[in-house]
Amino acid sequence: EAIRSMAENANKIIILTESIKFSQQGVVTQFKPEEIAAIFTDDHIPEGKKQFLQNLNTKIYTVPCE
């Protein structure tokens, strides 16, 4: 509930998460996909999830994963 409260007062919702979270229930599912302005994650984000979010104008930033 605290995360939702902060998001309601924010100008943008930006998420920092590991790509494994896209296969689990977590922070990302607490928001409607169209509410998310940007996601920072590693480069193992599933391509289908990446395309889905980009189609909603969510900016996806990735970093190499070792």
pLDDT band at 9 (very low <50, low <70, confident <90, very high): confident
pTM for the structure as a whole:
0.81
- Using CB atoms within 10 Å of the CB of residue 21, give its burial: 0 to 12 exposed, 13 to 18 middle, 19+ buried: middle
Checking 14-18 for CB contacts under 8 A at 24+ apart, the result is 14/38, 14/39, 14/40, 15/39, 15/40, 16/40, 16/41, 17/41, 18/42
Each residue's pLDDT tens digit, 12-63 = 999 999 999 888 765 556 788 899 999 999 999 999 999 999 999 999 999 9
